[in-house]
Structure 1
Amino acid sequence: MTKTTTTIWDPATHLTTSDDVVAYLEAALQDGDPQLIAAALGDIAKAKGMSQIAREAGLGRESLYKSLSSSGNPELATVLKVISALGLQLHVSATDNAKMAV
């Protein structure tokens, strides 16, 4: 019987282009789970270099690791700083079933 060796899959190693990063974050945002979004931002920050992103966002590296983990709960201000440091922007669009009185 042959032993199967497994390794932990790290999404950060696959986020090599800006298209990869955008698609990954959009998928997390569409899911709507705040913990998944935080973890996705953490994966992207790891791919870009957590120390560099923390410095550009004006945040501590250790606290950023903690905030952007799957169990983290970052404040909106932190999320916005990280998104900016990553060179990304958030955009809003209405869903098909959005009903707004104008």
Structure 2
Amino acid sequence: MTAPRDMSFDDYMVQTMKDPAQAAAYIEAVIDLEDPAALLVALRHVAKAHGMAEVARRADVGDKTLFKALSATGNPTLATVHKVLAAVGLRLSVEPLRVA
């Protein structure tokens, strides 16, 4: 992902994360890092792109609950992650590990 020079990184992320394919690829890449803090950042980027209040409404969670769950110190439940992903048009999936 290369942001145009006249656009801030945050603006670029908001624009890019509105595309479900881009958002899915981003979250999948972050999951591969096996870093829970990075996953929270990625979920927050995607939620911000769709509007945090709108995501909270679609996910049927309170605004404050969503902000807290996706904050740097957040610890969202699997149910909350599932609801947030569904609210932005994504879902969790499982696949076999790639063994080298």
TM-score normalized with structure 1 length: 0.77
| C-alpha deviation, 1:13, in angstroms | 4.2
Match of 2:56 among 47, 54, 68: 54
Unaligned runs of at least 5 residues, structure 1: 1-7
CA-atom RMSD in angstroms: 1.9
TM-score normalized with structure 2 length: 0.78
What residue is the counterpart of 1:83 in the other structure?
85
Query: Conserved in 1, the CA contact under 8 Å of 2:18 and 2:46?
Result: no
The count of corresponding residues between Structure 1 and Structure 2 is: 91
What residue is the counterpart of 2:24 in the other structure?
22
Structure 1: distance between partners of 2:98 and 2:22: 26
User: Percent same amino acid at aligned positions?
Assistant: 40
Higher CA-based Rg? 1
Structure 1: distance between partners of 2:88 and 2:27: 11
Structure 1: distance between partners of 2:34 and 2:68: 20
Output the amino acid matched with 2:88. L
Query: Conserved in 1, the CA contact under 8 Å of 2:16 and 2:23?
Result: no
Q: 1:94 to 1:64 in 2, by over 3 A?
A: same
Unaligned runs of at least 5 residues, structure 2: 1-7
Query: Conserved in 1, the CA contact under 8 Å of 2:17 and 2:23?
Result: yes
Structure 2: distance between partners of 1:83 and 1:14: 16
Query: Conserved in 1, the CA contact under 8 Å of 2:52 and 2:63?
Result: yes
Output the amino acid matched with 2:32. Q
